[in-house]
Chains A and B, each alone.
Chain A
């Protein structure tokens, strides 16, 4: 096998990728996925925890209080988030419908130490953003009231949970697991998936457009041609992954062991690209190859994810800096699989070219 021939094939594929500008779409796609998922996360969190949106924290919401006096009303009056109006239930609900109140609370006359629970009725507007915010703010007050009531009824409990006290909260940390435990492995692995889909297209295209004979009539052998295509796709992976890492770092997300992450993703992606190449060589037709490959991909990734210390988990641990020596064992295992697939690809391509020469 000649390195020069490999690079000729790889270069040809790069040129056509550039001229079609499809690679731009691929990059745009990844950008979209990244932006979209963080939009989802930030948007959802601000919805469920409105304190993260400072805009809503300075408002006082009007709530109607109906029914009997309780400690709950004391908490509500003391809260900086609410303006409380004592009123009759029917008036309150009508005012709520006219959006003059954000919520109406009705409290029964159940005694705090009664056998039965205290059932508070909370009226809010259906399908309304304001209700969502008010719900979250009221939740804090209800939780405090629940704690008081639990304290009153504590003698009736059989078992006490192990105590654990926390220092005062400093806030933040909501997105850490999302960024390191989902976004980073996803972004780093996506180039690998794209590359393996690409190699199928490159190989089946030669078959379906009948350009294979022209290509093999040049000094380039069939195995060299396949390896050149594999190489072209494989090179794209660490380049894209590195761009992601740099972009994330520019965004203020500290990533440890960036070099090791690139090493791991390059080797793992080799497995996927070779799997893609083998599928394409077997079917020689895009629809079938892509279908079988993408189904197989789901199976492989799902299976890998169910194993502890899988390559994707390793990316997370490397990025946060808690990966231990086990990473080398995983790397060796992945490398062994890649080597095996590489050997299979070499043998398979040699066989195909022998058959086509004799036949």
Chain B
């Protein structure tokens, strides 16, 4: 393919090339919206049908970890946007600094997710033959506050009174929890890989006010993944908290 510097032969100008790339990325993001949209639709139908079980499942999640992760992810979107700005105004060193910050914050998010998944394994909340939503209240550890366990037991008994099949229906909630957060995390891992590639380019001083398309395009992807989490956080973590 004929190429002059960063400009491919089938484009007139770098600006036209960048607009075409952004348009292509947005079309890809439309397919992503519908892809995640299908999952949100499945979630809506099941939450509507099994409201009690979804509330009970949601209450097992840790708001501090989930909320903290929301802050971390939005902050990473800010650093990503700042990386684009740094490239646009020609501050090459700042591009690297902001890209590395974005990668670091993305890694923190994934690390917290690992801690949360581990807790769910420990509490027998993985859908399958060992699933038991009462497990934690039946087997409290020394770290669990007795009054917290007592409240959890009481809430679960109330939930079982409303929905005798709670243990089966709560597995639908956790299937969606792991499916949706897992796919989100997979997108984050792919994003982290793209960031490593961007950081390599930034060390070589590739991104300038004239040419910063890769930073802009990966930025679009990163912000999209942020938007998915903006919906996932209230829908998964914040059901029926007012009790």
Query: Do A and B associate with each other?
Result: no
Interface residues of A (CB under 8 A from B): none
B interface residues, Cβ below 8 angstroms from A? none
